A and B are shown apart, each in its own frame.
Chain A
């Protein structure tokens, strides 16, 4: 569980950065349904293709998408593993604390029953 394993810290950080933008998250959500070209991806966003391409570069650098070799279309597809790693770690962290907070919920309830204000 030490750093430097598959998907090291730098990768995790690139993943979080890539996920910090709502347009990029929407692009990933679209790609979760299947591969798409830049034109197809740009369509729902009312954005220029260069603007979308810029987002795609960030996603590609973070290893979240891969682009086809077809020179004309260069379809994008989702690469799930880094996202899965980052999501799993965040979710696991969240679940850990939720479990602890639920114990606190119970304690707070008991304390308020003991001494009604």
Chain B
């Protein structure tokens, strides 16, 4: 169960990940602040402040503290709340290096004991998508050159087996 990342259009990034839990519980972990603060973030980034007015038109505000103490704030509007299957939000970072609001669509598909979360992140511009892909998530530790070569080989090998 590892995340699959695809770029179906020049403005989008899509993340798909399966979780061993029922849909409602997974939906809760994406919408309840006391749960979000326990998992959202990586590489030393932790959600230290989380407020969500969970209704259409409601606002939310996430504050994340980075490994070097930097505070990063993201705010937005809740556009659609359909528990436990769909959540649509806008997103904008306080010090964002690309223009416009980003649209985030989470869908939660329960099947048996598992739930697949598909997150479509649509940037205002293709340039914004490319910048975001390279920037905010990479504030942690950089990969070494050797790791890059390894990944290149991995990409080619995986795609060779990809029937699509």
The answer to whether B43 touches A83, judged by C-beta atoms less than 8 angstroms apart, is no
* Complex alpha-carbon distance, A67 and B115, angstroms: 47
Q: Contact mask B1-25 → A, CB, 8 Å, 1/0?
A: 1111101001001010101111001
* Complex alpha-carbon distance, A75 and B151, angstroms: 25
In the complex, which of the residues A1, A17, A112 contacts B134, with contact meaning CB atoms closer than 8 Å?
Answer: A1
Q: Which residues of the other chain, A, contact B127 by a CB distance below 8 angstroms? A: 3, 9
* Complex alpha-carbon distance, A98 and B2, angstroms: 7
Q: Which of B50-58, B80-88, B152-160 contacts A (4 or more CB under 8 A)?
A: B152-160
Q: Contact mask A74-117 → B, CB, 8 Å, 1/0?
A: 00000010011001111111111111110111111101100001
The answer to whether B7 touches A104, judged by C-beta atoms less than 8 angstroms apart, is no
Q: Name the 8 nearest CB pairs between A and B, nearest first.
A: A99-B42, A25-B159, A9-B130, A108-B21, A103-B39, A104-B39, A96-B137, A100-B42
Known contacts A87-B151, A96-B42, A104-B19; decide if A29 and B130 are in contact (CB<8 Å): no
The answer to whether B133 touches A107, judged by C-beta atoms less than 8 angstroms apart, is no
In the complex, which of the residues B38, B39, B140, B153 contacts A96, with contact meaning CB atoms closer than 8 Å?
Answer: B140
Q: Contact mask A9-34 → B, CB, 8 Å, 1/0?
A: 10011001101001001101100100
Residues of A that sit less than 8 Å from B by CB: 1-3, 9, 12-13, 16-17, 19, 22, 25-26, 28-29, 32, 80, 83-84, 87-101, 103-109, 111-112, 117
Which A residue sits closest to B17, measured CB to CB?
A101
In the complex, which of the residues A29, A104, A105 contacts B160, with contact meaning CB atoms closer than 8 Å?
Answer: A29
Which B residue sits closest to A25, measured CB to CB?
B159
* Complex alpha-carbon distance, A25 and B160, angstroms: 7
Tell me the B24-38 residues at the A interface (CB within 8 Å).
Answer: 25-26, 29, 35, 38
Tell me the B115-156 residues at the A interface (CB within 8 Å).
Answer: 126-127, 130-131, 133-135, 137-138, 140, 143, 148-149, 151-156
In the complex, which of the residues B2, B42, B126 contacts A103, with contact meaning CB atoms closer than 8 Å?
Answer: B42
**29 A-B residue contacts at CB 8 Å?**
A12-B133, A22-B159, A22-B163, A25-B160, A26-B160, A29-B157, A84-B149, A88-B148, A89-B138, A91-B151, A91-B155, A92-B138, A93-B138, A94-B5, A95-B143, A96-B42, A96-B138, A100-B40, A101-B3, A104-B19, A105-B20, A106-B39, A107-B38, A107-B39, A108-B20, A108-B21, A108-B25, A108-B26, A111-B29
In the complex, which of the residues B13, B21, B38, B148 contacts A87, with contact meaning CB atoms closer than 8 Å?
Answer: B148
